[in-house]
Each structure stands twice: as C-alpha cells, then as structure tokens.
Amino acid sequence: MSKERSITVSVDIPTPPERVWDLASDVTRYSDWVENTLEVYFDGTVQMGTTYEERTRIAGPWKARTRWRVTEFERPRRQVHEGEGVVAATGMAVIIDLTPDGQGTHMALTVRYTPRFGPVGAVIDRAIAGEMTRAQQRSVEAFAVLVARESATP
C-alpha cells in the first residue's frame, strides 16, 4: 500500500484574510487561478458539506472529472475539499489555510494524496509530485495576483 503524500506551497498576500477567504471560497473561480482546472460545475454558495465537480487537464489532450466535497469550512481560516475520481491518486484533499500576517494574509495550499502506483511506481510518483508542486506554486501566485487585481477594483 502506498503512503499518503503531502505537498504544501504558500504565498503572502497584502489583503486581509476575510477578503482573501471570499475569493478562495468561490469554487466557480478556480479556473481563474488553479492551473489545471478547466471548469467547475456548481451553482450556489460553498459551505460545509457542499459538493461540486471539476474538469481538469491531466496531460496533453487528456481531461478528467473529479467530484469534490467540502469537509471543513472554518471562515476565514481553513477549508478542506476531498476529491473522488482523482486519476493519479486513490484519494485527495486540498487544504487552504489562511493566517493573518500584519495587514495581509499568509496562504498555505496543501495537497494531500495517496498515489495509485504502489511501491513499483515510486519513480512515477516522484515525477508527478514534482510537477504538482510546481503547478500548485504557480496557482497560489496566480491567486495572489487575482486578489490584488480585484482588491484594487472599487
């Protein structure tokens, strides 16, 4: 059985956590900042227990759908989304932690997953983990730019 893996990236955003939270909680905007998200199927307000589907680019022309459920929702600090149907993992959780930092916010984005490939797939897992880390870092940086742009708009 493969061991659970965890990847955490972070970014500092010069905006208070309450305003950052609103954008981080809008799953319909994920395609604006989450690198491989193409589309989110959801209509409503995200809260504890919310479920939604996401269509994601896997590699090249391959796309996949993942069903997500919000399992923690502690405004304006932490939310956890657990996924089913993830291609490379038997289970996945995305954790968004927001910590006040002076007048701004420190955002940590953690992806927790259990690889499907087992012990034989250790090389594949390392390659996937490396790309996931880079993609997640680009995503949080894109999120910070989006927050800044929207905070500057009256």
CATH number at residue 122: 3.30.530.20
- Is residue 17 domain-resident? yes
Query: Helix, strand, or coil here: 26?
Result: coil
Look at 79 and 65; give whichever has higher pLDDT: 79
Per-residue pLDDT at 1 exceeds 50: no
Look at 121 and 22; give whichever has higher pLDDT: 22
- Is residue 86 domain-resident? yes
How many independent structural domains does the chain possess?
Answer: 1
Mean pLDDT taken over the chain: 88
Q: What range defines the domain where residue 80 resides?
A: 5-26+70-152
- Is residue 80 domain-resident? yes
- Is residue 98 domain-resident? yes
- Is residue 64 domain-resident? no
Q: What is the pLDDT of residue 136?
A: 92
Task: For the chain, give the percent of residues with pLDDT over 90.
Answer: 62
- Is residue 100 domain-resident? yes
Q: What is the pLDDT of residue 151?
A: 85
Q: Model's pTM, two decimal places?
A: 0.89
For 115-145, what is each residue's pLDDT tens digit? 766 665 666 667 677 788 889 999 999 999 9
- Is residue 38 domain-resident? no
For 88-124, what is each residue's pLDDT tens digit? 556 789 999 999 999 999 999 999 987 766 665 666 6
- Is residue 60 domain-resident? no
Contacts 24+ apart (CB under 8 A), 124-129: 125/2, 125/5, 128/88, 129/5, 129/7
For range 44-63, the mean pLDDT: 89
Cβ proximity of 57 and 38 under 8 Å: yes
